[in-house]
Amino acid sequence: MKKIFLLFFVLNAFTNMSYAATKVSTNAEQYTVIIQSIKMCENATINSETSFSVSDCVTLGNSPLTVDIASASVGATLGKYADTTALVAGKTYKYFVPTLSRTFLIRGGAVVDSRISGTFTCNSDSNAVIGGSDARNLTTIAGKVGGTASTTTVFVPSATSSGKTCINADCSSFSSNDTFTHDLPDDTTLYGNAINVPTDNSDNFEMIYTIATPFIMKDIPPIVNMNFGTKGALEVESMNNGGSDACRAGPSFPKFRVTVTLPN
């Protein structure tokens, strides 16, 4: 069975808050994603940053793979994942389309300026949850003031103008009618062309990346090089909870680039 050797991989698709506040981007201690599948496609129609369609695709990997992209051993974890048997000789593949779980794990923190006075450390919080009746695709969890960063589970929310932002661990304090967007940074070579996050609470989302040099499939399978940068991939933000410090901690956009090398 032919394989594409995955040298490195990272993807992300996460929310930007629409309102201004004191924010710090820092490195994540843990940043675990679940890759559900990988496709390579001949054709794509990219309507906007949040709308695209593809055709003439081949699925290369179609089983869940959990990867901590902040780990130094991520390359060994990935190993050989994608089967290239279905790639058709003579066809030109231009697009890389991963499907990922909207549920993933993060850990980390940083010092932020307080909205009240001074500074404090905002950390991810394993005890943070959404309210029992809250829609997981319309709610984001809180961070923790001080203490030690702990691994927390986050869910990529839908784009909405009716979002809820939890301000404390059990979400008994929150802000409402927040606008969540999926505004990719303006560099398609590093952040992809578009993201498709469902409007409901379904489990997965897709992204699309243009392969830097489209390739024509030949008899010997290509090597797919996937490089990432997670510097500044965790975002923490100070908030005000009735006169007391509060915060949120969530993922930001890592850099990602895919290139294909054909054997000589």
Tell me whether residue 149 is exposed, middle or buried, using C-beta atoms within 10 angstroms of its C-beta: 0 to 12, 13 to 18, 19 or more: buried
Cα torsion through 19, 20, 26, 27, rounded to 10: 10
Chain mean pLDDT for the chain: 84
Between the ranges 7-11, 29-33, 138-142, where is the mean pLDDT highest?
138-142
User: Which amino acid, one-letter code, is at 164?
Assistant: K
Domain boundaries, the chain: 3-261
Confidence of residue 82 (pLDDT cuts 50, 70, 90): low
Of the listed ranges 150-154, 170-174, 213-217, 256-260, the one predicted with least confidence: 256-260
Q: Are 21 and 258 spatial neighbours (Cβ–Cβ below 8 Å)?
A: no
Taking only the tens place, the pLDDT of each residue in 209-221 is 998 888 888 887 7
The predicted model scores a pTM of: 0.85
Of the listed ranges 18-27, 139-148, 180-189, the one predicted with least confidence: 18-27
Taking only the tens place, the pLDDT of each residue in 9-25 is 444 334 544 333 588 98
| DSSP reduced 3-state for 161 | strand
Q: What is the mean pLDDT of residues 160-171?
A: 95
Please indicate whether residue 101 or residue 10 has the higher confidence score (pLDDT).
101
